Amino acid sequence: MNRLFGAMLALTVAIACAPARAADPMVVFAAASLTETLNAVGDAYAATGKARPTFSYAASSALAKQIENGAPAALFISADEEWMDYLAQRSLIVPSSRVSLLANSLVLIAPAAKPITLKIEKGFPLAKALGTGKLSLADPASVPAGKYAKAALEKFGVWASVEKSVIGSENVRAALAFVERGEAAAGAVYATDAALSQKVVVVGTFPSDSHPPISYPLAIVAGHDGKDAQDFRAFMMSDTAKAIYKKFAFTVK
């Protein structure tokens, strides 16, 4: 009995003295177009002595669905207001934490090795410029960049002529990659994405009134409104973060 008591006492002491397990990093879900920008923001946050968040990048539509299905994200940054609305309607974000953080613009691109010349205007001959080639877009049925692009092409009256040539991708970075590899004759992506690539050229910029405003809302996910999430949300709105957004060509709201 004494040996048993001694063993139990030793085990208790060992557990009590064991180092505490480090908390899991806070997870931030963000639109794919924010990859480099938020990585830099995360580094700057870590430089203040705080734990660097873990970022998960994908199409806003996919991330919103994952949050709906219980994914443990603490914050969500969407590339449009609609997917944030989707979560808000399901009481899956903290309403008071929602803020429209950034803006962007939409551009038409082509491979740098095979540039095309077009003026974006009513009825512009995009189908003729494509020839037998493809038009690369993020999925226009659900992904924000693709939805913006479809709206713009409809506004200029050319969507019907190019719809059958569209390659729909899972996110805007995949759409960019098709053009970079020359697998599409043209594509529509955010200006910030095009600026990161030396393998594409910008053919033209779609006027801001040709599509819904490109807006990046930020919110804390319901059930995750702790100090860590609040602190990082505040840092994302700080002057330090704003300087990083501008460096990557985003417009700060």
Say if 6 falls within a structural domain.
no
- Reply yes or no on whether the pLDDT at 1 is more than 60: no
User: Tell me, what's the pLDDT at 25?
Assistant: 86
Say if 9 falls within a structural domain.
no
The CATH number of the domain holding residue 204 is 3.40.190.10
**Strand intervals (E) in 2-69:** 27-31, 54-58
The single residue listed with the structure tokens 């924010």 is: 34
Specify the DSSP class assigned to residue 25.
P
Number of domains in the chain: 2
pTM as predicted: 0.89
Instruction: Answer whether 156's CB lies under 8 Å from 122's CB.
Output: yes
Q: Are residues 99 and 219 in the same domain?
A: yes
- Percentage of the chain exceeding pLDDT 70: 91
Q: Are residues 155 and 171 in the same domain?
A: yes
Q: Are residues 153 and 178 in the same domain?
A: yes
Tokens matching residue 164: 């059958």
Instruction: Answer whether 190's CB lies under 8 Å from 37's CB.
Output: no
User: Tell me, what's the pLDDT at 124?
Assistant: 98
Model confidence over 122-162: pLDDT tens digits?
A: 999 999 999 999 999 999 999 999 999 999 999 999 999 99
Separation of alpha carbons 134 and 132, rounded Å: 7
Model confidence over 24-74: pLDDT tens digits?
A: 789 999 999 999 999 999 999 999 999 999 999 999 999 999 999 999 999
Q: Are residues 91 and 143 in the same domain?
A: no
Half-sphere exposure of 74 (CA within 13 A, CB side): 18
Separation of alpha carbons 84 and 93, rounded Å: 8
Mean pLDDT of all residues belonging to the chain: 92
Say if 73 falls within a structural domain.
yes
Model confidence over 162-190: pLDDT tens digits?
A: 999 999 999 999 999 999 999 999 999 99
